[in-house]
Structures are given as C-alpha cells and as structure tokens.
C-alpha cells in the first residue's frame, strides 16, 4: 500500500498509510497534523470525530429550545375583530418598579410627586426598558398598576392623560372606537422624556 492515501473524512481528515499521519482541518481553518502508530492515529481521529458530532448535536439542541420569557403571559381577547394580545403581568411590572436600577429616582420623582401624567407613563416606561416592550397597556391596565403601586390613577383620569397631554409621548395600536380599548406604548419622544425626568438632578 506504499504511497496510497485513504480519505476517512473528505471534509476534515486525511489518513496516510505510508507513514501513519493524521491531518485534521478544523472549520475555522486551523490544521492539525499528528504522527504516530496506526493505532494512535486511529484513536485521535475517532476522538475528534466523536467530539465534532457532540458539538453539532449540542448546537442543534440549543437552536431547538424556545427563547426563555422573563414573565409568564396569557392571551386575551382584544375586544374587537383583531387577534388576541398578551395580557400584561401586573405583578412583574410592579415588582420591577420596586427592584430596578432606577427605583430611588422613580420613588422621588414620580411616586412621591403629584404629577399624574408621569404616574400614567411610568408603567409604559418600565415595560419598554425592562421587558422589551412585551406588552401594550390600556388606561384600565395603567389604573390597576398604579393602584398596586399605591398611587392610583383612575381609569377615566388615565384615559384623559393618554389621549390629551400625554399623546405626544405615545404610540397607539388603533384609533379609539367605542367599546374597543386602545393599547399604548411609549414612542421615542416618550422614552427620552422619561429618561430625562429620572436622570434630572443626578
């Protein structure tokens, strides 16, 4: 078999029998050459093949796993002809207000202040910054959250602020129609407004 070369793995490995040598080409371009007895070379080739297969399996399993959500949600009817939407996790939002990097500033500049608009915008800001805009809120949602924060803003008052002075800070999912709740999230101007408010005086 002098001079004969057998290709064990066309993609990565060449095994020469004239002088037992394993040449392994890794996917990143790295080349590894190993000289030794036929048995040693075969063991190295086998070990590499097994490790490569395990790595591919691990990548496939990781890709198959769904993304982990930070808070459980459930679907609820949108109140109209549109698709169902994720119901906000009120407890998660309230807990984040009390346990985030901006808790002290939120307490001082929003919860302990008398500005109703800022209280209305607070839950939307928390959802944007800490939950990747996972939910949009109605005036009723905001009323429930502010109630849990012990600074309740009634649904009618929240609705008035959202459709009035706060409108420039918001993006709505629809035009208000009787019987169909409008869901809001902060727009870019609203995000900047809340960030400046909480950073003021630092």
**For residue 134, what is the DSSP state?**
-
H/E element holding 144?
A: helix 139-148
Whether 124 and 159 share a structural domain? yes
**Quick one: 114 and 26 in the same domain?**
no
Same domain, 59 and 112: no
Q: Report if residue 70 sits inside a domain.
A: no
Same domain, 56 and 83: no
Q: Is 39 helix (H, G, I), strand (E, B) or coil?
A: helix
Tell whether 115 and 49 lie within a shared domain.
no
pLDDT of the residue at 46: 75
How high is the pLDDT of residue 154?
97
**pLDDT given at position 24:** 65
Position 177 scores a pLDDT of 59
Residue 190 lies in a domain: yes
CB 117 within 8 A of CB 104: no
pLDDT in tens, 170-180: 998 875 556 67
Q: Give which of 14, 17, 46, 16 is closest to 32, Cα–Cα.
A: 14
Assess whether 161 and 94 both reside in one domain. Answer: yes
Domain boundary among 21, 40, 64: 64
pLDDT digit string, tens, across residues 77-91? 545 455 566 789 999
Tell whether 109 is covered by a domain: yes
- Same domain assignment for residues 122 and 176: yes
| Distance separating alpha carbons of residues 198 and 106, to the nearest angstrom | 7
> Within 13 Å, how many C-alpha atoms sit on residue 96's CB side?
18
Count of structural domains within the chain? 2
Residues 98 and 51 in one domain: no
d(CA 106, CA 97): 8
The answer as to whether 69 is a domain residue is no
Q: 């029998």: which residue's tokens?
A: 17
CATH of the domain at 158: 1.10.10.10
Quote the CA–CA distance of 28 and 74 in Å, as a whole number: 44
45 plus 127 within the same structural domain: no
Per-residue pLDDT of the chain (202 residues; tens, 9 = 90+): 444 444 444 444 444 445 566 666 656 566 667 666 667 767 776 777 777 677 666 666 554 443 434 444 455 554 545 556 678 999 999 999 999 999 999 999 999 998 999 999 999 999 999 999 999 999 999 999 999 999 999 999 999 999 999 999 999 887 555 667 899 999 999 999 999 999 986 6
Indicate if 79 and 141 belong to the same structural domain: yes
User: Whole-model pTM?
Assistant: 0.60
Domain that includes residue 46, residue range: 5-64
pLDDT at 152: 95
- Same domain membership, residue 185 and residue 100: yes
Asked whether residue 188 falls in the same domain as residue 98, the answer is: yes
């Amino acid at each position: 078999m002098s001079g004969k070369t057998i290709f064990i793995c066309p993609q990565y490995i060449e095994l020469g029998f004239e002088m037992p040598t394993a040449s392994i080409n890794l996917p990143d371009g790295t080349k590894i050459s190993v000289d030794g007895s036929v048995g040693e070379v075969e063991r190295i080739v086998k070990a590499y093949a097994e490790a490569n297969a395990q790595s591919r399996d691990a990548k496939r399993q990781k890709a198959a796993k769904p993304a982990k959500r930070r808070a459980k949600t459930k679907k609820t009817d949108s109140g109209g002809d549109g698709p169902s939407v994720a119901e906000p996790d009120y407890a998660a939002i309230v807990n984040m207000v009390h346990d985030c990097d901006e808790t002290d500033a939120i307490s001082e500049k929003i919860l302990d202040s008398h500005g109703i608009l800022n209280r209305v915008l607070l839950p939307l800001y928390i959802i944007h910054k800490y939950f990747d805009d996972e939910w949009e809120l109605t005036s009723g949602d905001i009323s429930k959250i502010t109630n849990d924060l012990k600074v309740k803003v009634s649904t009618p008052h929240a609705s008035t602020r959202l459709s009035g002075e706060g409108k420039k800070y918001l993006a709505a999912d629809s035009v208000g129609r009787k019987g169909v709740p409008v869901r809001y999230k902060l727009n870019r101007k609203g995000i900047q407004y809340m960030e400046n408010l909480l950073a003021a005086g630092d």
